[in-house]
Structure 1
């Protein structure tokens, strides 16, 4: 399946970063890596207004 050219650029950047899989790193490392990615993709992004921790049964 073909993907949008801009999305393909992001996927290529992730692949080229040669980072370990999320299953192989700690939660703290995963969060830090995610934050780096968010800052690269949207450096002027707005802060999240709020969030809620929820548990969904099932």
Structure 2
């Protein structure tokens, strides 16, 4: 019953993962390609760090 009851609820970690995949990675790729490769790599590292934090939140530390 608990699984069905909480099926529509998203945790903060899942929300961060979704935002990072759909916004963070494309933006860092565009920055890398068109603006400055160094800043693009830094954006990519930041996205990977966000995914790491989101996975820790999702697992409940």
TM-score grouping bracket, smaller chain normalisation: 0.3 to 0.5
* Structure having the larger proportion of residues in helix: 2
Using CA pairs under 8 Å that are at least 6 residues apart, name the structure with larger relative contact order, 1 or 2. Answer: 2
Q: Which TM-score applies when normalising by structure 2? A: 0.38
